[in-house]
Chains A and B, each alone.
Chain A
Amino acid sequence: MKWMLLCWMLLAPWAMAREAQPMAEDTQVEARLVVIADELRCMVCQNESLASSHAELAEDLRREVRKLIRDNKSDAEIKTYLVERYGDFVLYRPQVKPLTWPLWFGPFFMLLLAIWGLWRYLRLRKNALAMQHTMSTDTSHTAAHKD
């Protein structure tokens, strides 16, 4: 009898154990929050996203964003809401506008320029070497073979 009681007492907490509840009240809202907040900057931190920062202002801003998500605002509207109050600085993904065209299109043009340069270089090189070869003396002929 006694050991049955003992078993019950030991098992009781585990009997009440359950699958842990998510911290968030609404997982759908939270999922959207994380995606949006990942691209927003914590205004009081030394370079951290709104999603990961523990700062108080970050908590407050996440609360605001949750409110906006529940009001069925789109991602763009939420970002605009924050930019109206904190400026472009709050966006980790800079908006594509004339001010940021060099930023967004720069790498692509750099690549084009580099590939064009590469092509031209290989072409010019071929011609230069051909010229060098026809004008060659014995020395440069030997050198080419040494390679």
Chain B
Amino acid sequence: MIPELGQFSLVLATVLSVVLGVLPLWGTINRNTVWQSLARPTALLQFAMVLVSFICLSLAFLGNDFSVKYVAEHSNRLLPKLYQFSAVWGGHEGSLLLWVLMLTGWTAAVAVFSQSLPLNMVARVLGVLGLVSVGFMAFILLTSNPFDRLFPIPADGRDLNPLLQDPGLVIHPPMLYMGYVGMSVAFAFAIAALISGRLDAAWARWSRPWTVIAWAFLTFGIGLGSWWAYYELGWGGWWFWDPVENASLMPWLVATALIHSLMVTEKRGSFKAWTVLLAIAAFSLSLLGTFLVRSGVLTSVHAFATDPARGVFILCFLAVVVGASLVLFAWRAPAVTLGGSMGLISRESFLLLNSVLLVVATGAVLLGTLYPLVIDALNLGKLSVGPPYFNLVFAPLMVPLLFVLVPGTVAHWREARLNDMVYQLRWVGLGALLLAIVLPFMFGKWSAGTALGVFLGMWVALGSLQHVVERIRKPGRIGGSFWGMHLAHFGMAVLVLGITGVKSYEVERDVRMSLGDTVTIAPYTFRLVDMVDVNGPNYKATQAHVEVLKNDRVIEVLYPEKRRYFSSAMPMTEAAIDSGLLRDLYVSLGDPIAGDTPSWSMRVYYKPFVPWLWAGVLLMVFGGILAALDRRYRRRAVSPMQTAGEALSSAP
């Protein structure tokens, strides 16, 4: 009964999304305000229907309804309730339903928080979002229906992949999807602007907060994924340049470029065509990511088990959506006006450089990710492109980006003088240089790479600090935008310092330990004191008790485990981590070793500055949220006079 209701709701939602995609847009063409005004209520109703559908699927999981094939494949009676719920998005079909829930959720949010927008803009934006929804809902109903039944009904389900039975995996996909899907809002605004010909500063101002919030979610989602991989996979890695990870990084890079480009369009009316293109690109990369993960075209640890037929559907959808957008772009963009003048050295040109570097970085990641596919398609063989390539190619692009960040924030609009900026930043530069030379010695070996990383991190951090201090001294209100920007930049600096620190100074010991044995990574000593058997709700585990000593005092006890889930043959490692401000201590239990005294293989890691990775990400996320909540975005509707004036200034 409930699954039927779920499917029915979804069908209703699809019908509503067709209505939303067609009528309001048609209403803007024939100036029918009644049709245009249908947009908001349809958007809200659409969301309600998808929510019902999602709730139905959740109830099917929580109620152990194994007559639903998707539930039987991803759940189990012994599975803890929390994971029975998160299993809803543990597989392909359910994760698509989550995607659609978020898409209609964002659409509804735009419907509610767009009171200051003219009706025809609202109609266009919601209309575009509706069209995108049609595609995804059709995909679900036609090829990936989570409500399909199973007969005969099994007594128990297969179980959720043990790797996914973890709190990190509960929030990582939803946050990531919020980011991916959020890019569709910027996309819809861009398409609406292209259709209406109304590509101006006002459009940029409307678009920006939505884009920044989506960016914040995406940052959070990627960070969560990284953090989860770090503590769950058992050997302390946090980024592998896996195709699916790249699929999330690429929209993030372009979205970062987009946010900065929107700034220029909003302030000076410039870069309109480029900003629109970035908005289209960000969403296109989101869609491309969906394709790569679900089509089976690339090998990845993250890939859902799917078939090429689904891949064909997504590819067609991708081709139609992006193709149509780019045709619209080629048609409308040439008519766009230039906006204000800018010198070769100005804030605008710095921001343009930011765009360029980020886009080239995205291009490099895209090239590396798709190269094996291209070579194979040309029948030239099979090759692999992995971390050695990406690390070598990506890092050098980030260096100029981080360097340019600081002068970019102090440069004047329109015209900036290089000498003035050098003078203004002299202490920042000297400070960063000094710290880059001195700090590495304090933590271990000095190397040019480490020094460069420290320099760039400190350069950005000190630059932000100086700017904030100077600004506080001046009178006047400081908006959320300002705080948000500096918090996010500071977060970036912390991230860079974290990466530099952990890559330069991490230590790993792979040892065999019996009870009482110790292993030392100065100044810490790890001692194995006990090994017990533990019973979990759906697993049995061997648990080690490891004391951590510093200066002969026990500061912590860690409990790494090796679990055997009833449903899976593969044993799972649960690493134990002691996090501090400056370092993580990481212990991973391996297999027992045959011998006279019982002993086990253990991996012990000293990971300095890893907590800075997560701190940096969180700072960036908060920075984004602060910036998006700036008061000026929540201003009331603009007066008709202002609107007329803006319309005049953007006339071709």
Q: Please give the residue numbers on chain A whose beta carbons come within 8 Å of chain B beta carbons, in ascending order.
A: 13-14, 16-24, 30, 38-39, 41, 45-49, 52, 87-94, 99-100, 102-104, 106-107, 110-111, 114-115, 117-118, 121-122, 125-126, 128-129, 132, 139, 142-144, 146-147
Contact = CB atoms under 8 A, between A and B. Distances in A.
Interface string B527-543: 11000000000000000
Interface of B: 235, 237, 240, 242-243, 268-269, 299-301, 303, 338-342, 344, 349, 352-353, 356-357, 359-360, 363-364, 367-368, 371, 375, 380-389, 393, 397, 509-520, 527-528, 590, 601-602, 645, 648-649
A111 B360 contact: yes
B363 A107 contact: yes
B383 A16 contact: no
A118 B404 CA distance: 15
B337 to A, nearest CB: 8
Contacts of A106: 363-364, 367
A20 B602 contact: yes
Contacts of A142: 649
Contact of B510 (A13, A24, A90, A147): A24
Contact of B385 (A19, A94, A99, A111): A94
Listed residue (A20, A90, A94) with the most chain B CB atoms within 10 angstroms of its CB: A20
B367 A103 contact: yes
14 contacts: A13-B515, A16-B516, A20-B509, A21-B512, A22-B509, A41-B384, A47-B242, A49-B386, A88-B384, A91-B383, A102-B367, A114-B359, A132-B338, A144-B341
The secondary-structure label for the interface of chain A is: helix
A46 B299 contact: yes
Contact of B648 (A22, A89, A104, A139): A139
A125 B356 contact: no
Contacts of A41: 384, 386
A114 B360 contact: yes
A52 B515 contact: no
Contacts of A52: 235, 237
B268 A147 contact: yes
B375 A99 contact: yes
A147 B364 contact: no
A52 B233 CA distance: 10
Nearest to A21: B512
B511 A21 contact: yes
A107 B391 CA distance: 13
B301 A48 contact: yes
A56 to B, nearest CB: 13
A94 B383 contact: yes
B408 to A, nearest CB: 14
A47 B300 contact: yes
A17 B300 contact: no
A48 B384 CA distance: 11
A74 to B, nearest CB: 17
Contacts of B513: 20
Listed residue (A18, A46, A147) with the most chain B CB atoms within 10 angstroms of its CB: A147
B649 A47 contact: no
Given A104-B389, A110-B363, 18 more contacts: A17-B527, A20-B513, A20-B519, A21-B512, A22-B509, A46-B299, A48-B301, A49-B387, A88-B384, A92-B386, A93-B388, A103-B385, A106-B364, A107-B363, A110-B364, A132-B338, A146-B645, A147-B268
A94 B242 contact: no
CB-CB nearest 10 A-B residue pairs: A92-B386, A17-B516, A93-B388, A107-B364, A20-B511, A147-B340, A20-B517, A143-B649, A88-B383, A20-B519
A110 B371 CA distance: 15
Contact of A89 (B300, B340, B383, B528): B383
A106 B341 CA distance: 33
A147 B389 contact: no
Contacts of B356: 114-115, 117-118
B282 to A, nearest CB: 18
A111 B58 CA distance: 48
A52 to B, nearest CB: 6
Given A92-B386, A103-B371, A14 B516 contact: yes
B510 A22 contact: yes
Contacts of B303: 46
A17 B382 contact: no
B389 A92 contact: yes
Contacts of B383: 88-89, 91, 94, 99-100
B516 A107 contact: no
B300 A46 contact: yes
Contacts of B510: 22-24, 30
A93 B389 contact: yes
A48 B300 CA distance: 9
A88 to B, nearest CB: 4
Nearest to A125: B338
Contact of A90 (B235, B240, B384, B397): B384
